[in-house]
Amino acid sequence: MPKSKEPPTSLLIFGKQSRYLREKRDLTRRELSALIPYSESFIAMVERGERPPKPGYVDAVDAVLGADGLLCVLAPDVSEKHHPAWAEEYVHLQAQALALHVYSTHFLHGQLQTKECAQAVFRSVRPSMTEEEIEQSVQARLATQKLLTRTPACRMTFVLEESTLLRKIGGRDVWEGELRNLLKISQLHNVQLQIMPLSRETHAGVDGPMTLLETPDHHTVGYVSGQQGSYFLTEPDDISVLSHRYGTLRAQALDAEASRAFIQRLLTGES
């Protein structure tokens, strides 16, 4: 995943403003730490733009420093802008999507991951990420999951390779927690979740994972990710191919009811 070494501008702005407000009240970082449930080192990293502030941190600092909502207003921007630069456009489109259709092959899509699963996924990245980078990436991923329960609802379908459910990334406890999360998500009225069994003898997804996203103006955009980056597909001919391919994948996969039953059997050890 390409990374920028320079902190995002939004984080730098938030950090400078919060530092200005702290110093205006003649508080040291240690003194501020005594007033809120966050460490002095965490405060320092936020003020330098090195860490995105958590929602609880923003609320606490805004209140203690008497910012009168100034920092809270910036919270949505800093929570969105710490994604890797190459993903910014996709994150923006996904947040506004009318519909999202995903085919996953190696691990579960970010919309479906628990916090513990996301941590395990980012710890698997090579070259290795630092703990700070992992925490930033996890918080960014969890923030996108608002899409699952957004109003108005986003229509969402997922086709998951069976192997994504069999791989116990993070260990058994994390794996079982993820299976329970999938069962919970599968009950949402706007979500259809299907499993592609390993026993399939014909398979339309041999070219790898893909995402189809419907924008607010009813255009469909394709999104394909790879080892060193990702790219969009917008040409009608390309979208037609991906749409046909995805429709075939859904027809080849287990239906939603059978998929829930499959996940339940995995969880109870019956399969």
Claim to verify: residue 90 and residue 76 sit in the same structural domain: no
Claim to verify: residue 140 and residue 219 sit in the same structural domain: yes
- Tell me the CATH number at 28: 1.10.260.40
Domain presence at residue 179? yes
Q: How far apart are CA 78 and CA 213, in angstroms?
A: 24
Domain presence at residue 38? yes
pLDDT at residue 112, rounded to an integer: 97
Asked whether residue 10 carries a pLDDT value surpassing 90, the answer given is no
Tokens 């609802």 map to which residue? 153
Structural domains of the chain, count = 2
Q: How far apart are CA 158 and CA 181, in angstroms?
A: 14
The last residue of one of the domains, among 45, 80, 115, is 80
For residue range 162-205, list pLDDT tens digits in order. Answer: 999 999 999 999 999 999 999 999 999 999 999 999 999 999 99
Claim to verify: residue 169 and residue 218 sit in the same structural domain: yes
pLDDT at residue 17, rounded to an integer: 92
pLDDT at residue 86, rounded to an integer: 47
Please name every residue paired with 193 in a beta bridge, in sequence order, or none if there are none.
Answer: 158
110 SS3 class: helix
Claim to verify: residue 103 and residue 47 sit in the same structural domain: no
pLDDT at residue 41, rounded to an integer: 86
Write out the H or E segment, with its range, that includes residue 102: strand 99-104
Claim to verify: residue 74 and residue 91 sit in the same structural domain: no
Range of the domain at 217: 85-268
The pLDDT confidence band at residue 38, using thresholds 50, 70 and 90, is confident
- Asked if residues 74 and 134 have their Cβ atoms less than 8 Å apart, the reply is no
Claim to verify: residue 76 and residue 89 sit in the same structural domain: no
Domain presence at residue 4? no
The pLDDT confidence band at residue 233, using thresholds 50, 70 and 90, is confident
Claim to verify: residue 91 and residue 131 sit in the same structural domain: yes
Claim to verify: residue 70 and residue 94 sit in the same structural domain: no
The last residue of one of the domains, among 23, 51, 80, is 80
| Across 4-13, 40-49, 229-238, 261-270, least confident range | 4-13
pLDDT at residue 77, rounded to an integer: 72
Please name every residue paired with 102 in a beta bridge, in sequence order, or none if there are none.
Answer: 158, 211
pLDDT at residue 79, rounded to an integer: 61
pLDDT at residue 2, rounded to an integer: 36
What's the mean per-residue pLDDT of the chain?
A: 88
Q: pTM higher than 0.75, yes or no?
A: no
Domain presence at residue 3? no
The last residue of one of the domains, among 20, 52, 80, is 80
Claim to verify: residue 244 and residue 112 sit in the same structural domain: yes
Claim to verify: residue 187 and residue 242 sit in the same structural domain: yes
- Tell me the CATH number at 143: 3.30.870
Claim to verify: residue 234 and residue 134 sit in the same structural domain: yes
Claim to verify: residue 190 and residue 236 sit in the same structural domain: yes
Across the range 220-240, mean pLDDT stands at 82
Q: How far apart are CA 61 and CA 138, in angstroms?
A: 22
Residue 105 buriedness (CB in 10 A; 0-12 / 13-18 / 19+):
middle
For residue range 77-134, list pLDDT tens digits in order. Answer: 776 444 454 456 678 788 999 999 999 999 899 999 999 999 999 999 888 888 888 9
